[in-house]
Amino acid sequence: MRTQIAIIGSGPSGLLLGQLLTEAGIDNVILDRVGKDYILGRVRAGVLEEGTVGLLDEARSAFRLHAEGLPHDGFSLAFDGRDHRIDLYELTGGKRVTVYGQTEVTRDLMITREASGALTVYDAANATPHDFDSSSPYVTYEKDGVTHRIDCDFIAGCDGFHGASRKAVPEKVIRTFEKVYPFGWLGLLADVAPVNHELIYANHPRGFALCSMRSATRSRYYIQCSLDEKVEDWSDDRFWDELRRRLPTHHAQALKTAPSFEKSIAPLRSFVAEPMRFDRLFLVGDAAHIVPPTGAKGLNLAASDVHYLFEGLREFYDARSSAGIDAYSQKALARVWKAVRFSWWMTTMMHRFPDTGDFDQKIQEAELDYLTHSRAASTALAENYVGLPF
């Protein structure tokens, strides 16, 4: 088989890139090691920047998003027992975010791709890029006991942090940067109305908490926990009680509970691989970078990578110019590092660290006080949260 672009990974980044390429008349094939149902069963983030929404519009995959997504003009920082609202819309001159689950984004992209007739191969084991440092790259994979080969012009590695694409790059030509945080997030998903119509980020002596949602009837809540905690030790009642302790009184009293249908602990890390291009192999999304979820940047960074790569590939095929793909890594990393900084800053400001002393605690309190009483500081937070321009 031959195609122009071989895409490894059918998460949101791979599907979005594939659909944009298909709309532009550029042939592509997507491979994924697991099945469609498994992919749609994964619970992920759900705060979309306007740039991400715009790309989904361009990919003709935002039909449900506009009907069911929840536009948010702000969010609350809760500390000292009080709410401090950050008015995103007013501070950024009319920008907002949209709450719409990553699983739903993936589902919509799958529907659009199937309707387009473009090929996705699921349960494609051991998908591996080869000869991407030559003019004849190809990808191999195994399905039903048979090894298959796809020859292509370029390979897009959209297969996540543990995928084969980054691992295929020789260690001597790639550099990685990593910070592992000494805590995790215990998350709970329940079919119950959210406690607030906008997100609440809570800083509390007992640890961080986040009140989020997937819809007007489905809530996603998180509490900071130690890395040695076990999910099975957290009953629903214990979780709800701990969440109430970390929220201002009026939110704690208004909190409605229901049985959870998903509960998990996620470790937090910051990770960046440089560069993001290796001749004819491009790393996209989590294959190249991971950010703590505090700043709501993971999915949105993957989308901005897709934007830069798609524009470069379209220029290559339309104008026979390699300027765009040559600039891909530099452009993507410039935005990545700004988002990494923002996510790190939000994480350090909102969480309690095991080694935090009295001095560090006072600095954190001063930071929050300054942030919520300075328009300049609030504006900087708001413009990063809604997403820096591509």
List, for residues 152-204, the tens digit of each pLDDT value.
Answer: 999 999 999 999 999 999 999 999 999 999 999 999 999 999 999 999 999 99
Q: How many CB atoms lie within 10 A of CB 217?
A: 12
**Active-site position among 12, 72, 100, 351:** 72
**0.85 exceeded by the pTM?**
yes
Residues 66-88 pLDDT 10s: 999 999 999 999 999 999 999 99
Residue 143 annotated among the catalytic residues of the structure: no
pLDDT for the residue numbered 334? 98
Catalytic residue from among 95, 181, 293, 308: 293
CATH code of the domain occupying 182-267+353-386: 3.30.9.10
Residues of the chain with CATH 3.30.9.10: 182-267+353-386
Residues of the chain scoring pLDDT < 70 = 43-45
Q: Which CATH architecture has domain 5-70+101-177+269-346?
A: 3-Layer(bba) Sandwich (3.50)
CB atoms within 10 A of CB 179: 13
Cα gap 293→334, rounded to integer Å: 19
Q: Which of 201, 222, 308, 328 is catalytic?
A: 201
389 is catalytic: no
Q: Which token pair is 6?
A: 């071989």
What is the structure's pLDDT at 38?
84
Token pair for residue 137? 């790259």
pLDDT value, residue 348: 96
Q: Looking at residue 43, what is its pLDDT?
A: 66
Torsional class of 37: left (φ above 0), alpha (ψ -120 to 50), beta (otherwise): alpha
Annotated catalytic residue within 297, 307, 331, 351: 297
CATH 3.50.50.60 range(s) for the chain read: 5-70+101-177+269-346
Is position 72 annotated as part of the catalytic site?
Answer: yes
